[in-house]
Structure formats: structure tokens, C-alpha cells
Amino acid sequence: MEFKGIIFDYGGTLDTVGCHWGKMIWHAYERNNVPVSEGMFREAYVFAERKLGANFIIQPDYSFYKTLEIKLTLEFEYLSTKGFLSATGFSLVSMKNAVLTDLYEDVKKHTAHSREVLLKLKDKYPLVLVSNFYGNISVVLNEFGFDNLFVGIVESAVVNVRKPDPAIFQLGVTALNMTPEDVVVVGDSYAKDIVPAHSIGCKTVWIQGEGWTNEVHPVSIADVIIQDIAQLLQVDK
């Protein structure tokens, strides 16, 4: 597969290496014995995501750690208010903090792995980031050592376009100063990354990890399917 530039998704791609963020958080709940069912957690997760998306809660200078702490606080408050979680006060905070620490350490590991791959790719190709994020992606990139790796950043909260709108990927192509045919898009979401990027003529690499649902795509339009971001170094050869 020939290409001249690469567009990367961020959440679920560079920070979890293919695992949907909902599943990432749920597994941290499991590891820390939070006494709720996955169904209860899913309710809380969707509530928190919608609240963060509809309100300007996350500020441009917030770190990822702070962003994650706010997200988990919303989830645990929802679980407590709904009566799904009997813990209150100090016990509730302690449980949330255990999940927070667990997740943050996991993300540091995954981002370090992704950074190693991107450093190698950066020597050969210009890289652009296209992400649905809260307006603080630059701070988050610096937090995990991704600063100076991208020639352009297209963030939904800044450009007022969100995936799966193909227009956000066109902005990424424009940032590369290339045509879509010369660009490959790398992402974890089939519906939000692969389909819209393909629709404008980009090549696509789908990092197929653990999704939010069990949806199966028997016929994939992705040009390449990988399970680990390091496999990009083989695609590149």
C-alpha cells in the first residue's frame, strides 16, 4: 500500500491501542472490584459522555489525568444517585481513585508504545491528528510525549465538526497539503474512522481491538486490518 502522509485518530487508537474507551474503563472497574454490573456501568458511561459533550466542563488547559478524573466522578455520582452503588463519601472517592490510578497507568503504557511507533513513522511521513476531543488535545499530547510529532491537529471541539462527518478527515488531508488518495487514515472505529475516511478516497488501516458492541463487519472496506499499532511498521514496508 502506497501513501505519502498519515492521519491518526487519538482516543482508542493511540491511547488504548484499539480498545474502546468504554471497555477500557469497564475493565478497570472489574480489576478494582467495583460492585456494579456492566449494564449499570454502561448507563453511567453514556451519561458522563453526553454530559461532557453537551457542557463546556473540560477546559483547554486540563490534563488527561484531570479529564479522566472528571469523567469518572460523573460516572460514580450517577451510579450512587441511581442506587446502583451503595458506597458513599470516603469509600466512593477511594473506589473512584483506585480506578483512576489503574487507568492512567494503563494509558501511560499504551501511549509510550504508540509514541515509539510514531517516532519511526515521522522520519518518513508527515503525520496529522484528527480527533473528536474536548478542546484540550494539545495539552494531552504534551502530557504523553506526542508533542512535535504532528504537522497538524484537527480537533472536533475547535473546528466544530465531529466524526463520523467525512469533512473532518478532509480537514486532515488539507493539513497535509495532499490529495485523499495519497493519505492513509489509522483508527480504531470502523464507523467513525474507516467508513468516513474511505468515503473521501483515503486509504485506511483499522486497528481492530475490543469494541463497545459485538458488531461484526463480515465485509470490511478497510485496506488493512491490524491488532497492534506496531504492525504499521510492516504495512509501511
Instruction: Indicate which CATH number applies to the domain containing 201.
Output: 3.40.50.1000
- pLDDT at 169 exceeding the cut of 70: yes
Percent of the chain with pLDDT over 70: 98
100 & 208 share domain: no
Buried b (16+ CB within 10 A) or exposed e, 180-219: bebbbbbbbbbebbbbbbbebebbbbbbbbbbbeeeeeee
In which band, very low, low, confident or very high, does the pLDDT at 218 lie, cut at 50, 70 and 90? low
**Whole domain around residue 143: which residue ranges?**
5-19+109-235
Set of cell numbers at residue 53: 459533550
Q: Mean pLDDT throughout 90-119?
A: 96
Model-level pTM? 0.94
91 & 205 share domain: no
- pLDDT at 51 exceeding the cut of 80: yes
81 & 176 share domain: no
Q: Which is nearest to 231 in space by CA: 186, 193, 189?
A: 186
219 & 124 share domain: yes
Please report the pLDDT score of residue 236 as a whole number: 66
Domain count, the chain: 2
83 & 57 share domain: yes
DSSP structure class, residue 190: I
